[in-house]
Amino acid sequence: MSTIKPVNDTYRIAYMPPATEFNYYIAIGAGIEAVAEEKGVEVFMLAPQSGADINGQMGMIQDVLTQEVDAIIFGTHDEFAAAPLLKKAVDKGVAVLMINSDIPNFPTPIHGVVGYSQRNGTHAMADWLIEEHGGEALTIGVIEGQPGYHSTERVGGFLDGIKGQENFNVVTSVDGKWNVEGGNTAGMDILQAHPDINAIFAANDYMIIGASFAAKALGKRELILMGNDGDTSGLEEIVAGNVTATVNTTPFLMGKAAMHATLDAIAGTYPGGWIETPTSIDTSDEALNALKQPEKLFPQPSKEY
């Protein structure tokens, strides 16, 4: 791996999440910005609107490679498409860190990874489901994200966790495209095709919120609806009683950890590897407690709790 650039008076860092449509990545960005402001560092964000626009993100990475930047903090839905471009960045002496992941071996050497254990997080959700509803017969639907590492790990962790639970029956798994609209469509399809379903797990909060809209439209009031992320909107939907639980992955704190690691990488003091950020299973009480600490959330809750 090439030597990092020497220390400058002011660092310039590109934050490049996979899309601006997800408040989750905006929350990570808010954590990055909080540290940047404290340290006097310039950060700019560049991302396509849609998480499905892989070509758009790759074009933006190419553009950033023509600029003077000291570091790139990135998240992507296609690590194999991004790898050759990020190799060029590393070869130029740019510090490269990935956020919201736990990929142990990125396709090309980068300086670090900051995020939570995707598979362990959703395995914990399965453990919660067994603890709370293990004595019940559950017919379960799954809403995946777009194909890729994040969806594979999150769905895989949940399915691994309920394996061997003979009274749990997973009957379908549908792509919800990571967003509320996709989750609504997937939820409607699942519930109409399998009216006996009484639990749905989705790989992020947006999709389970969408599924909750479908459930409400179909008059399904007693469903167990499980998400993943800890988005402000997801936490509010839990407190409102529309969603049951989420894996809270504290994106604002993840952003702060990523920025600290990036500054260390630029300075040549970060040893590399994975920084694991915390998770918890949040139902109504935990979600309410999180909403009472708005300084750790982005966007801010819709009201004071």
User: Between the CA of residue 80 and those of 108, 111, 272, what are the distances in Å?
Assistant: 9, 17, 20
Tokens 């935990």 found at? 286
Distance, CA of 242 to CA of 225 (rounded, Å) = 8
- pLDDT tens digit sequence for 109-141: 999 999 999 999 999 999 999 999 999 999 999
**303 φ, ψ (degrees, to nearest 5):** -155, 170
**88 φ, ψ (degrees, to nearest 5):** -60, -40
pTM: 0.87
Q: 44: Cβ–Cβ under 8 A, 6 or more apart, which residues?
A: 12, 13, 14, 15
**What is the three-class DSSP state of 15?**
strand
Would strands 95-99 and 112-115 be described as parallel, antiparallel, or unpaired?
Answer: parallel
The structure tokens listed for 107 are 């396709």
Per-residue model confidence as pLDDT tens for the chain (305 residues): 444 555 555 899 999 999 998 889 999 999 999 999 999 999 999 999 998 899 999 999 999 999 999 999 999 988 999 999 999 999 999 999 999 999 878 899 999 999 999 999 999 999 999 999 999 999 999 999 989 889 999 999 999 999 999 999 999 999 999 999 999 999 999 999 999 999 999 999 999 999 999 999 999 989 999 999 999 999 999 999 999 999 999 999 999 999 999 999 999 999 888 999 999 999 999 999 999 999 888 889 999 99
